Amino acid sequence: MRKYLPTVLFLLAAIILLNACSFSAKTSESYYKKASSKSYDMVAVPGVPFTETGWDSTMKARVYWSKHLFDKGIAKNIMYSGSSVYSPYYEAEIMALYAVAIGIPKENVFTETKAEHSTENLHYVFQKSKKMGYTNIALATDPFQAKQLRRFARLRIGENTGIIPIVFDTLRIMQPFMTDPQIDYKKALNKDFVHIKSRESFWKRLRGTMGKNIDYNAY
């Protein structure tokens, strides 16, 4: 048993660290209840890399969560955000195709295709939404990313920026009714794609994660 102790301790430390970096189920539910009494002009949904095998569980969860928010009237419009970062497909465009395919009206679905980091996702959606006349916005994503962006949202976007982490208990209830629609993913292809790791150093990517690469004139 003693020889396994370091491994056990490492796993426990990793679990504790992960929990510290993510909203708990109870906290996510609390944020959702708070958002339920409001109606946001635009809800930002950060992108997820796409491959030709289809959407993964993370993208599916984010898109279906955004549909839930739209159906409940919490989101009047949805803007998916994400460039072609780790694959040659614009993340935002792919998610928008799925969103329309599962029933969100096309006129309420928008995209932002310049963001390459999570901080840029939120900031660029805010910039673009503001130009469209919308300033009442919220962020909808998984509990981990929501917690990472909470402080950035308050300081750089505004105190009233909504934070709506995914409530996985709600998604589990929805799961029997979920589908995996076929989309024409080639519509979202970036023919000039260059992988971010070929364009940016590790340190520049890290700065981007911290919100240091934001183009304030993007929109």
Q: How far apart are CA 76 and CA 92, in angstroms?
A: 18
- What is the domain-level CATH number for residue 150? 3.40.50
CA distances from 96 to 16, 62, 69, 156 (A): 35, 11, 15, 26
In residues, how long is the chain?
Answer: 219
Is there a domain that residue 4 lies in? no
Domain count, the chain: 1
Is there a domain that residue 134 lies in? yes
Q: Which residue has the tokens 């794609």?
A: 193
pLDDT at position 23 is: 81
- In order along its 219 residues, the chain shows pLDDT tens digits of 555 444 443 433 334 444 457 789 899 999 999 999 999 999 999 999 999 999 999 999 999 999 999 999 999 999 999 999 999 999 999 999 999 999 999 999 999 999 999 999 999 999 999 999 998 999 999 999 999 998 898 888 988 899 999 999 999 999 999 999 999 999 999 999 999 999 989 999 988 888 889 999 999
Q: How far apart are CA 171 and CA 219, in angstroms?
A: 33
Is there a domain that residue 218 lies in? no
User: Which residues span the domain enclosing 186?
Assistant: 25-209
Is there a domain that residue 148 lies in? yes
